[in-house]
Amino acid sequence: MNEGVLSSMQEFDHEQVVFCQAKDVGLKVIVAIHDTTLGPALGGTRMWPYASETEALRDVLRLSRGMTYKAAAAGLPLGGGKAVIIGDPKKDKSQALFRSYGRFINSLDGRYITAEDVGTNVFDMECAFLETDYVVGTDPTHGGSGDPSPFTALGTFYGIKACLNKVYGDESLKGRTFAVQGAGKVGADLIRHLVKNGAKVIACDIDKDKVNSLKQEVSIETVPPDDIYNVKCDVFSPCALGAIINDKTVELLKCKIVAGGANNQLERIDHADILKKRGICYAPDYVINAGGLMNVFLELEGYSRERCERMVQNIYHNVGRVLKIADEMGVTTARAADVMVEEHLEKVRRGSRMFTMHPKHALRDVHRRR
């Protein structure tokens, strides 16, 4: 097992992976710190009923690496990290579980800062916050910024407009058809933006209650989850789990653009090559979905919603820059984004390689002022 874990860490060049368990509360969690070149690792905590520990490890390694690239692409002084709790968020949550989790996070002494993610929410983070300062996205009554998902959706919306401008020469959504996979917090908010701006939306979710509830609020069509790839549309927008662009689905897509809020949308990097050959413009996920990270980062400097909204608008330009680099280099947009990030990281690595102590201005002092 150890050899497998270390080999996986070397594959993605992770600094640290921590396994924690508390049998009395049913906690089983893996924390992955990918790279702290730019600053402390920040990334959400995902709770999911993984089929195996191997699957959970694979997910947290991919997700944490994506957070490094997301922070760098967004120009933030943060490293990349992620945590996954193995469990069913509908059945296995408790205050004791998240307080125990908070104590584990605290033992990392600021190398990893957490927030909510798929399967967790602000209340869960509030429970962890009782045991550690290294939590962002807490309730505004505690000086936090609350749920970051609206800003993930907003940034994705701006990134989609950049893709529309590139492909059609016009960023207007009127008359455009969108196939949105996922009607959770990010997907639902994105759908609201799309409909408000005149788009036709066809949506799906594995949770029928979510998509049916949204259907009562806004005018959308729905399809079963397996049918979303076959929808003829201008934009396919993945807003659920990762690895959904794979050998099976990549040839099914009937769109000109893939741009959504999900992490790790490509199962393998060569799927970006297939999208390019098919004439499909792909917005690299860690560039387009950075709005939520921007939101919680601002808690470290003193949160301002207005400043966050201005910062998130830059995702339009960040996506546009990646599209331009891809054209100039003659490579996929996925490769262009990686080149942009890796060049930035290499410049910083010429200084200090690893973050080891929380900066004086960061989270602990912020929380003490609340």
Lowest pLDDT segment from 20-24, 28-32, 137-141: 137-141
Asked if pLDDT for residue 317 goes beyond 80, the answer is yes
- Residue 12 phi/psi, 5-degree rounding, is -100, 0
pTM of the full structure: 0.85
293 in Cβ contact with 148 (< 8 Å): yes
> Cα(134)–Cα(115) distance, rounded to whole angstroms?
9
How confident is the model at residue 368, as a pLDDT? 44
Residues in a beta bridge with 238 = 181
Asked if pLDDT for residue 366 goes beyond 60, the answer is no
> Cα(147)–Cα(298) distance, rounded to whole angstroms?
13
> Cα(163)–Cα(160) distance, rounded to whole angstroms?
5
Asked if pLDDT for residue 369 goes beyond 90, the answer is no
For residue 144, the surrounding DSSP H or E stretch is none
Burial class of 307 by CB neighbour count within 10 A (0 to 12, 13 to 18, 19+): middle
How many whole angstroms from its chain centre is CA 342? 19
Asked if pLDDT for residue 170 goes beyond 90, the answer is yes
Asked whether residue 347 is domain-assigned, the answer is no
Half-sphere exposure (Cβ direction) of 11: Cα atoms closer than 13 Å: 11
> Cα(148)–Cα(54) distance, rounded to whole angstroms?
29
Asked if pLDDT for residue 354 goes beyond 90, the answer is no
Any idea what the CATH number is for the domain that residue 201 is in?
Answer: 3.40.50.720
> Cα(78)–Cα(297) distance, rounded to whole angstroms?
8
One domain for residues 84 and 178: no
The more confident residue out of 303 and 40 is 40
Asked whether residue 182 is domain-assigned, the answer is yes
Asked if pLDDT for residue 365 goes beyond 80, the answer is no
Q: Residues in the chain, how many?
A: 370
Asked whether residue 121 is domain-assigned, the answer is yes
User: What average pLDDT does range 289-309 have in this prediction?
Assistant: 91
Token code pair at residue 243: 């690895």
One domain for residues 103 and 43: yes
One domain for residues 116 and 258: no
Q: What is the mean pLDDT of the chain?
A: 92
Taking only the tens place, the pLDDT of each residue in 172-219 is: 999 999 999 999 999 999 999 999 999 999 999 999 999 999 999 999
Number of domains in the chain: 2
Residues known to be catalytic: 82
Residues in a beta bridge with 45 = 83, 116
The more confident residue out of 167 and 139 is 167
Token code pair at residue 291: 């709005």
147: pLDDT confidence band, cut at 50, 70 and 90?
confident
Asked if pLDDT for residue 360 goes beyond 50, the answer is no
How confident is the model at residue 138, as a pLDDT? 87
Highest mean pLDDT (candidates 8-12, 224-228, 296-300): 224-228
Share of the chain above pLDDT 90, in %: 81
* Greatest extent of the chain over all pairs of C-alpha atoms, in Å: 58
Any idea what the CATH number is for the domain that residue 33 is in?
Answer: 3.40.50.10860
How confident is the model at residue 289, as a pLDDT? 96
Burial class of 267 by CB neighbour count within 10 A (0 to 12, 13 to 18, 19+): middle
Distances (CA, A) of 105 to 32, 100, 346, 355: 11, 9, 28, 16
Asked whether residue 16 is domain-assigned, the answer is yes
> Cα(132)–Cα(80) distance, rounded to whole angstroms?
19
One domain for residues 319 and 205: yes
One domain for residues 172 and 118: no
Asked whether residue 265 is domain-assigned, the answer is yes
How confident is the model at residue 367, as a pLDDT? 46
Asked if pLDDT for residue 299 goes beyond 70, the answer is yes
Asked whether residue 141 is domain-assigned, the answer is no
Residues in a beta bridge with 42 = 80, 113
349: pLDDT confidence band, cut at 50, 70 and 90?
confident
Which string of DSSP letters, residue by residue, matches 250-301? TTT-B-SEE--S-SS-BSSTHHHHHHHHTT-EE--HHHHTTHHHHHHHGGGT
One domain for residues 243 and 126: no
One domain for residues 110 and 232: no
How confident is the model at residue 154, as a pLDDT? 98
Asked whether residue 343 is domain-assigned, the answer is no
Asked whether residue 281 is domain-assigned, the answer is yes
Structural domain containing residue 200: 149-338
Residues 6+ apart with CB under 8 A from 6: none
How confident is the model at residue 370, as a pLDDT? 43
263 in Cβ contact with 63 (< 8 Å): yes
Taking only the tens place, the pLDDT of each residue in 50-108 is: 999 999 999 999 999 989 999 999 999 999 999 999 999 999 999 999 999 999 999 99
Domain end call among 135, 161, 178: 135
How confident is the model at residue 352, as a pLDDT? 59
Taking only the tens place, the pLDDT of each residue in 269-294 is: 999 999 999 999 999 999 999 999 99
- Buried b / exposed e over 29-45, threshold 16 CB at 10 Å, is bbbbbbbbbbbbbbbbb
Residue among 178, 253, 257 at smallest CA distance from 218: 178
User: What average pLDDT does range 134-143 have in this prediction?
Assistant: 86
Asked if pLDDT for residue 357 goes beyond 90, the answer is no
> Cα(124)–Cα(357) distance, rounded to whole angstroms?
26
Taking only the tens place, the pLDDT of each residue in 109-123 is: 999 999 998 899 999
